[in-house]
Structure 1
Amino acid sequence: MRTGGLIHAGLMAALVGLRHTDTFAVSDSGLPVPPGVPLIDLGISYGMPRFAPVVELILEEVTVEAAWASADVVAANPEAADLLTNRWHAELIAHDEFKRRIDQCRFVVRTGEARPYANVLFRAGVPWL
């Protein structure tokens, strides 16, 4: 049994299964997930769990080499925009392009986040030792 960090068995299994260049997303409660893309739904109510703490826990478990977010986050959700661009170094792209890239994800982690455009797409890296 884990003593800290993530304890969601399905999410841990998905993260452990990632390989170099695989992509996955962490989303707010409203991002449409295409049929066929596995969904790990953590949302239990609007606002719970929040987007940022879920991303932080995930980033403690996986190596990431690139990240993307919707450019619409800047105007619609400045708090998320700051985290996405300054802390997680996400490149901002058109929202339609962001949604198209979700089709290629190994999985999407849906949070209960109720603020708009709190979504990020990550590309797995390699933890070279």
Structure 2
Amino acid sequence: MKKGTLLNSEISYVISKMGHTDSLTIGDCGLPIPDEVQRIDLAVVKGLPEFIPVLSAVLNELCVERVVMASEIMTESQELHHRIKEIITAAEYDEKRTITIEYVPHEEFKKITSSSKAVIRTGEFKPFANIILVSGVTF
């Protein structure tokens, strides 16, 4: 049995194949997923699983140098935005490295997801609960 915290085999596999600057998207249940991108669908019912626990689990496994979020999250989901920033700050502390935060309009965000290795779909129902994680290097 795997010893680490992340048990989902599809997510583990995608992360294990990622190199520097590859990206992985975590999205709410409404984020459109391009046909050409692998879909890892975790959504069960409204709100399950929530976005934050999935983000935290992935950040425990993936070295991240940059994240991209829709700029609308700052006004439309302020509490969620604040929580994401707290988690990123904690990851920076744990990894002893800076994680750059970039904001783009939601329409541009949706286009950028097409370059992700995979999109993880959660059951989150909060608006703009989406993030693109850009892989860093561990050395």
Q: TM-score, normalised by structure 2?
A: 0.87
Task: Report the equivalent of 1:76.
Answer: 76
The residue identity in structure 1 corresponding to 2:64 is: V
> Is residue 27–residue 118 contact of structure 1 (8 Å, CA) maintained in 2?
yes
Of 105, 108, 117 in structure 1, the residue corresponding to residue 128 of structure 2 is 117
Q: Secondary structure at the match of 1:121?
A: strand
1:42 maps onto 2:42 in alignment: yes
Of 100, 103, 127 in structure 2, the residue corresponding to residue 92 of structure 1 is 103
| C-alpha RMSD of matched pairs (Å) | 1.3
Alpha-carbon shift at residue 84 of structure 1 (Å): 3.2
Aligned equivalents of 2:6, 2:85: Cα separation in 1: 24
Structure 1 segments, 4+ long, off by >4 Å, are: none
Aligned equivalents of 1:120, 1:65: Cα separation in 2: 13
Determine which structure has the larger helix proportion and give its number.
2
Aligned equivalents of 2:78, 2:69: Cα separation in 1: 13
The residue identity in structure 2 corresponding to 1:64 is: V
Q: Which runs of 5+ in 2 are unaligned?
A: 89-99
The residue identity in structure 2 corresponding to 1:116 is: P
Q: Secondary structure at the match of 1:83?
A: helix
Query: Percent identity among equivalent residues?
Result: 31
Q: Secondary structure at the match of 2:137?
A: coil
Alpha-carbon shift at residue 4 of structure 1 (Å): 4.3
Task: Report the equivalent of 1:62.
Answer: 62
1:126 maps onto 2:137 in alignment: yes
Alpha-carbon shift at residue 74 of structure 1 (Å): 1.5
Q: Which stretch shows the higher mean deviation, 11-20 or 77-86?
A: 77-86
Aligned residue runs from structure 1 range 18-29, under 5 A: 18-29=18-29
Q: TM-score, normalised by structure 1?
A: 0.93
